[in-house]
Each structure stands twice: as C-alpha cells, then as structure tokens.
Amino acid sequence: MQHARISTVPTLRDIHFDDLPAVQALNEAAVPAVNSLAMAPLQWLWEHAIYRRAAVDATGEVGGFLLGLGPGLAYASPNYRWFSARYPDFVYVDRIVVGAAWRNLGLGTQLYADIWQLAVHRGAVLACEVNLEPANPGSLRFHAKFGFRSVGEQRTEGGTKRVTLLVREPPATSE
C-alpha cells in the first residue's frame, strides 16, 4: 500500500525475494514509462542482476527500486543487446521506478549515485536508454545532469518506440 506521505527518510537496501510482489506492483503502476513485467521475468531479472536495490521506509515498505545488469546474459532486451554488442563491460540500468508517493525525495538521484559507485568500482560504463518517441524530456534532463551522453539511437517494439542509448564513462585512472 502506498502512503499519502512518507513519514521517515527512505534508505537503500538490497531487494529481498519477499519484496518482489511490491516491486512488481510499483513496476506495473509505472507502465508505460517502463515495460510491463510478469512475476517470472521479474524473478529472472532479480536473480541475474548485479545491482538490485530498493528504497524503503522504516516499516520496510518498498517505495522505489533499481535493477542493473552486467554483460554476458541471455537477455532478450534489444537495448541490453545493443550495449552487449559494443561494450566489453557495462552496468546496464534495466529499470528504475519510484512510486508516486515517494517522488521528489531525491530517490532517483540516490539510486543512480549508488549504482554509479558499482560502475566506477568495475571500471565500466553505466548504460541505459531513454525514450525519444514517445518523448521523456524529464528523463533526458535527469540523465544529462548526471553526466550521460548519447552513443546511439534505435527503434524498438516494432518501430513504435525510438530510444537514445546513453552511457556515463567511469573516471580515467592514472597508471
């Protein structure tokens, strides 16, 4: 159940198996910003994710989540496959959702900052896509502020969507 107002500062923790129904409910409430996801594919993502974190309140209620994947998976997503064909190592943001009652608390920024630390630790690009058709200007602004740059575009879902493929490069290391 979504609270009208969050009474405690949310914290990030790993998504537990028992959280999956709440994660799925949040995901479905966010369609079409994210693709719909039945429980079996969600469980597969959870099992294969190198990053699976949730924003929770003091009661343990899940108000947002981010699932990230590494390379080498047999995953049907055309956007994931695009990055797989071009980058030897990457951390792919498969989906991020913040529930309506939890928005404007900085959770998207907090989740992205957290997964960015994983990408930096690996020396890998942080990768994602943002819809151009239908347009998602808020997400484009967010990713630009977070240091992402476009490295390509493609049409998906039978040509009904056009996405920009974005990466944020890890900092250069001195040898």
Q: In the prediction, which pLDDT does 34 show?
A: 86
Q: Give the pLDDT band (50/70/90) at residue 5.
A: low
Q: In 3D, which of 42, 51, 53 has the Cα closest to residue 75?
A: 42
- Residue pair 52/74 in contact (Cβ under 8 Å)? The answer is no
- The structure tokens 């009661």 sit at 59
Q: Give the pLDDT band (50/70/90) at residue 173.
A: confident
Which domain range does residue 128 map to? 11-168
Domain membership flag for residue 64: yes
Domain membership flag for residue 124: yes
Domain membership flag for residue 4: no
Domain membership flag for residue 104: yes
CATH, residue 85 = 3.40.630.30
Q: Report the number of distinct structural domains present in the chain.
A: 1
Domain membership flag for residue 26: yes
Domain membership flag for residue 56: yes
Quick one: tokens of 93?
């943001």
Quick: pLDDT tens for 35-64.
899 999 999 999 999 999 999 999 999 999
Domain membership flag for residue 92: yes
Domain membership flag for residue 2: no
Q: Give the pLDDT band (50/70/90) at residue 33.
A: confident
Q: In the prediction, which pLDDT does 174 show?
A: 56
Quick: pLDDT tens for 120-138.
999 999 999 999 998 889 8
E strands, 29-160, in order: 51-56, 62-69, 90-98, 125-133, 149-156
Q: In 3D, which of 105, 82, 1, 91 has the Cα closest to residue 52?
A: 91
